[in-house]
Amino acid sequence: MEPAPIPEGAVGPTNAEPEVTAFDIAVRAPPVVRELLEKHIELQRYRAVTDLDEAELARLIVLAELNVRNLVGTLGYFSPDIRITHEGGVNQRPTIVVAVDPGEATLIGPVAINFSGDIAESPDPDALAQRAEIQRDWRLPTGQRFTQNAWDGAKTQALRGLVARRYPAGKLAGSLADVDAPARTASLTIALDSGPLYRLGKMEVTGVERYDPVLVPRLARLNAGTVYDQNQLVEAQQRLASSGYFDSAYIFVDPESDPLAAPVKVQVREAKLQKIILGIGVTTDSGPRASVEHTHHRVPGIGWRAATKLQLEKKSPFAQTEWTSIPDEGSWRWVALGRTERLDDNALITQAQRLRFGRTQAGDRIDRNIYLQYDRAQVHGAGLLGNSAVDTGDGSALTVNYVWTGRYFDSLPFPGKGYGLGFEIGGGSTLGDDRQPFTRAVGRWLGIQALQRGRIAMRAEAGAVLAKDTARIPSTQLFRTGGDSTVRGYGLRDIGIKLPNGVIGPGHYMAVGSIEWQRPMLRNGLPSEWENTLFLDAGAVADKPQDMRPSIGVGTGVRWKSPIGPLQIDLAYGVKVKQVRLHVSVGFIF
């Protein structure tokens, strides 16, 4: 016995209800039943018929009992006590009273999920794992209350689990909810037919006119012969859409195509060859800012993309240009970068320049960078008095660097669990009259552990520069910390080496740690787009490891899942400085 679905055509009371109605309806039942009946009972559609006589009204009341019984059955009540009466005397407006005692709810009994097609026959461990995953994620286990909506949702979820990987032509071959009304149990059976296993064939691209035709397949990274995976198609689609070359991208595989080599159809709409972006913003670290950015997606002669940005703000204005080639078949790009910036720390003003040339690779989870870099820092200001150039980070250097980053989160930019880790290692020499070799290493980690309600986010970062005390290493290669994304409760780069005249300078060693409890805010009992957080941050900078003394910040904040990434608003207390500071930032960064 399959419970009757809620009639799609049922009409409930609305703001546009006719002023003249033939009768009133009063429903007397528990809230969940009353809400369903008031919205979907078929009697509602006859209220506008004002010329009903007593015989026709009596006939409607008789028919209404079956309609009410079917509706209540969708909530899992199959033995309700239903009484429908007609109240109101002669020349009085009639009222039809629907009184329902639903009785006890029907619970789920045995559940059978049957498979046919390749998923049932294949000995492949991936097929076995997919079957086990569908069974594990079944939404109506034995003992749970039965409702029509839950039954429909469980079948839909099982089918999604089937077609998400390997079997895009999968279908629901059959389903049965066998209800034993006296025993108040429902035995459930569904049959899933996977059809054949699908593998990706050649890529068919439409919409490319001004860019190199190899760009789409190299960005999408969907190799022929790969087993169909809907998540991989979505990720490839996101890579194309976020690459800057395309305003939109759509990727699909036709289930009616050849399963052994299903063509991957890609439709893209190209972005304009050049664009200019004007921006304004504000951060608690640097105050208000304005920016202008120009991008040319295919520079004549070399075909590289050039992105040039000028940002004006009080603390750290900068100008930067970055040129990148299109990716090769291994997803490697050539990169050239030039940057000049001014860092104002109130006491010290640093004019810094950077030149970089190398290669970068962006993978599904892992990013790699190899580059040669020139850094130069010129430090001046009132805080320079009494402090040497070595202490303040005045100098220049040439280094060779390798950076590796791995992201293993369940989703971005709003991860619910997973981890990320990365490291940087470089070596080189200071420049000038007294050249000194040095090495630099940085490691960082972010772990997110899901809880029954919310999650715990833990973050750690450490860095070291190994060199002689007399080496004039530029400040851009040394360490200072504090601010929105490091140690909250302190200003940007406020944690460093305290020099003789009170100025904060950069150090050779750095360590930062944080733990944060993130809890969703509930709305009508369900998680909303907002979260509340409690956090503890700590960070230290020193010239010798034994001199590390942590600066601690504690606080609370809110998060909002905005369209451009997580918006973070935190109020933190810096224990060492004994001050409360507001921190605002947008985006997930690792």
**pLDDT tens, 140-171?**
899 988 988 889 999 999 999 999 999 999 99
Topology of the domain comprising 327-586: Porin (2.40.160)
Say which CATH class 200-270 falls into.
alpha beta
CA Rg, the chain, in Å?
33
Residue 101 tokens read as 């005692």
DSSP state of 389: H
Q: How far is CA 350 from the centre of its chain?
A: 37
Q: How far apart are CA 384 and CA 499, in angstroms?
A: 10
Q: From residue 496, how far is each of 28, 394, 533 by CA, in Å?
A: 70, 15, 27
CB 323 within 8 Å of CB 299:
yes
The continuous run of DSSP H or E covering 63 comes out as helix 54-73
Q: What angle do CA 360, 366, 370 make, to 5 degrees?
A: 30
- Sequential pLDDT tens for the chain (590 residues): 555 555 444 444 444 444 567 788 889 989 888 888 888 888 888 887 777 777 887 888 888 888 888 888 888 888 888 898 887 766 777 888 889 888 888 899 999 999 999 999 999 999 999 999 999 999 889 998 898 888 999 999 999 999 999 999 999 999 999 988 888 899 999 999 999 999 999 999 999 998 998 999 999 999 999 999 998 999 899 899 989 999 999 999 999 999 999 999 999 999 999 999 998 877 766 778 899 999 999 999 999 999 999 999 888 899 999 999 999 988 999 999 999 999 887 767 889 999 999 999 988 889 999 999 999 988 886 655 556 556 677 889 999 999 999 999 988 788 889 999 999 999 999 998 889 999 999 999 999 999 988 999 999 999 999 999 888 999 889 999 999 889 999 988 899 998 877 788 899 999 999 999 999 998 877 788 899 999 999 999 999 999 999 999 999 999 998 877 788 999 999 999 999 999 988 877 77
Whole-model pTM?
A: 0.71
- Please provide residue 118's backbone torsions phi and psi, each rounded to the nearest 5 degrees: -60, -35
The CATH architecture to which 24-101 belongs is Roll (3.10)
Q: How far apart are CA 54 and CA 60, in angstroms?
A: 10
Residue 145 tokens read as 């209350």
- Domain boundary assignment for the chain: 24-101, 107-193, 200-270, 327-586
CATH topology agreement for domains 200-270 and 327-586: no
- The CATH number that domain 107-193 falls under is 3.10.20.310
* Residue 526, C-beta contacts closer than 8 angstroms, at least 6 positions apart: none
Q: How far apart are CA 83 and CA 57, in angstroms?
A: 15
**pLDDT tens, 216-258?**
999 999 999 999 999 899 989 989 998 999 999 999 999 999 9
